[in-house]
Amino acid sequence: MIVFDLRCSAGDHRFEAWFASSESFTDQQARGLIACPVCGDAGVEKAVMAPRVAAKSNRQPDAATPPAAPAEPSGTSQEVVRRLLAEIAEKQAEMLPRSRWVGRDFADAARAMHEGRAPEDLIHGQASPEEAQALRDDGIAAVPLLVPFVPPDAVN
């Protein structure tokens, strides 16, 4: 899709309109199908020569950018968090191949290892917030995967 800034010749009203392509605009313009939303005049032409190409629908470059932070005392905390996350992501990528996926049995498997009922192993899986809390309460080390991770048995 392309958005054009248009203006009508009757009242010099400016407005934007979307077209599938530049040709589509030219075609509709020639057939008088584009009317000024203010006065209805069909004598419409481009107000600006260079069209802006719209961002793909699955990308929202502006929406994703947080508004300017209101006077953070120092810009370092964000930097630290970013570096920490990068380290965790690296560690996770390093460990996952050596770790055994246990899916929803994670809490049970972690508990079994903690209590010596199962051999020590590196595992990862899914746990509900309640299960994770219960593990923490019992002093069982479980670290949430901070990096988005698709379970190998995820159903499409």
Q: Which residues bind Zn ion (CB under 5 A)?
A: 8, 11, 13, 36, 38-39, 41
Compare residues 7 and 124 and give the one whose CB is closer to Zn ion.
7
Compare residues 41 and 105 and give the one whose CB is closer to Zn ion.
41
Compare residues 28 and 126 and give the one whose CB is closer to Zn ion.
28
Distances (CA, A) of 35 to 9, 17, 76, 90: 11, 10, 53, 56
Residue 18 CB, shortest distance to Zn ion, in Å, is 18
Strand 123-125, strand 100-103: pairing = parallel
Residue 17 CB, shortest distance to Zn ion, in Å, is 13
Residue 52 CB, shortest distance to Zn ion, in Å, is 22
The Cα 41–Cα 34 span in angstroms is: 8
Q: Which pair of structure tokens corresponds to residue 61?
A: 């470059």
SS3 at position 139: coil
Residue 14 CB, shortest distance to Zn ion, in Å, is 9
Residues with Cβ within 8 Å of 8's Cβ and at least 6 positions away in sequence, in order, are: 15, 36, 38, 39, 41, 43, 44
Compare residues 25 and 106 and give the one whose CB is closer to Zn ion.
25
